[in-house]
Amino acid sequence: MPVKNRFAEMLPEMTEWRRDIHAHPELQFDTHRTSALVADKLREFGCDEVVTGIGRTGVVGVIRGKTDSSGKVVGLRADMDALPINEATGLDYASNTPGVMHACGHDGHTTMLLGAAKYLAETRNFDGTAVVIFQPAEEGGGGGKVMVDDGMMDRFGIHEVYGMHNWPGMETGRFSIRPGPFFASTAEFDIEVEGKGSHAAKPQSGVDTIVVASHIVTALQTIASRNADPVKQLVVSVTSFVTDTTAYNVIPQRVHLKGTVRALETDMQTLAERRLREVVAGTATAFGARATVHFEANYPVMVNSEVQTEFAADVARAVSGGCDEAPLIMGGEDFAYMLQERPGAYILVGNGDTAMVHHPEYNFNDEAMPAGCSWWAEIVERRMPAA
């Protein structure tokens, strides 16, 4: 079954939805306009239930098949939130909100799942129940966890759950996936270094926090290169270096470092945290400074279930003629929380030759929507074939 003709017919309509959402981006849990639009569409499509307020601003739609002898319930999830980035696309439907844009394609994810929901509500050619999940706050807010903590899986009786993300640089409408660990765990750290401020012309009278913090930055790179097993994946990145002065002739009293740790195994994140604390403390002491570390673990490793991944790949091959093995990805994804609760799989769909996600010139490729919608619909129709 290639791309369904119905989605080719719906493409102009879906493009209007997507571009409207793109022009009105919202951050984390503040997806009030988007959530209302989604809920209104689901009601218009004739969903059997539309529930708002799951995970604060999440929306869930229930679509029952023509029969329900299987008793199966399959969940399909899309994210809705944008990023705090100034858009630089120059599009006529570019963000109307300064400093906020859909730089990760969640506008496209939401639209593809809306398109699939419309089709499934029209046809109902399956034996069971489809639950469409529209999640806020994927970009750092942990909206997936909040929806799970709200009891979503049990409330709607979900047995399996599937997610999808667009991927720039991959042929438009083609798919890739892998079983097991797929997206990395995420953690953030803050390091406060305190020395003794002084005039820059008299460094001997102070404890130079610039020097201390610079040595810390360099030493932290040895965690991945000299402490971690080289066949395992670990990234430790310092992403901010801020002093408490902007003067040319002052050695600052304090320096604040920020950064992130990414790993594909829990023991690697544990190792990174332990060594980070040891390296920071030891380096600061060696120079006569003091340092404190705040380390916060966030999204867990996202792990695709074996059986559901093979099924998702089969569906992708049926839709697009092929499905490649996806690379390991060190980015985080809070669909991980849903996969901790239920078996399922997460797949990538090609966005073509576009800027990478989280870039101010990124834009979701509308031509990918028929393939994405077809995959969603086929997941339901093949996992719960009509009796």
With a CB cutoff of 8 Å and minimum separation 6, the contacts of 16 are none
pLDDT at 128: 98
Choose one of 297, 327, 349: the last residue of a domain.
297
Residue 387: its pLDDT value, please?
83
Q: What is the pLDDT of residues 55-114, one digit of tens each?
A: 999 999 999 999 999 999 999 999 999 999 999 999 999 999 999 999 999 999 999 999
Q: Which of 281, 297, 313 is the last residue of a domain?
A: 297
**Which residue among 265, 297, 329 closes a domain?**
297
45 and 157 together in one domain: yes
Same domain, 150 and 237: no
Residues 219 and 350 in one domain: no
Inter-residue contact 370 to 50 (CB < 8 Å): no
Query: Please, how many CA atoms are within 13 Å of residue 242, restricted to the half-sphere of its CB?
Result: 10
pLDDT of 2 above 90: no
On whether both 40 and 95 belong to a single domain, the answer is yes
d(CA 112, CA 366): 9
For residue range 7-50, what is the model confidence (pLDDT) as tens digits?
999 999 999 999 999 999 999 999 999 999 999 999 999 999 99
What are 98-131's pLDDT values in tens digits? 999 999 999 999 999 999 999 999 999 999 999 9
User: Which structural domain range is residue 243 located in?
Assistant: 185-297
Residue 277 belongs to a domain with what CATH number? 3.30.70.360
Which residues sit opposite 190 in a β-bridge? 258, 294
102 & 199 share domain? no
Q: Are residues 223 and 326 both part of a single domain? A: no
3-state DSSP of 280-343? HHHHHHHCCCEEEEEEEECCCCEEECHHHHHHHHHHHHHHHCCEEECCCECCCCCCHHHHHHCC
Q: Are residues 197 and 159 in the same domain?
A: no
Q: What is the CATH number of the domain that holds 30?
A: 3.40.630.10
Q: Which two tokens stand for residue 5?
A: 């003709």
Based on the domain organization, do 158 and 230 belong to the same domain? no
Q: Are residues 240 and 253 in the same domain?
A: yes
Interval 213-231: pLDDT, tens: 999 999 999 999 999 999 9
Whether residue 51 has pLDDT greater than 70? yes
Q: Domain tally for the chain?
A: 2
- The answer on 307 and 287 residing in a single domain is no
Q: Are 156 and 204 contained in the same domain?
A: no
The answer on 191 and 164 residing in a single domain is no
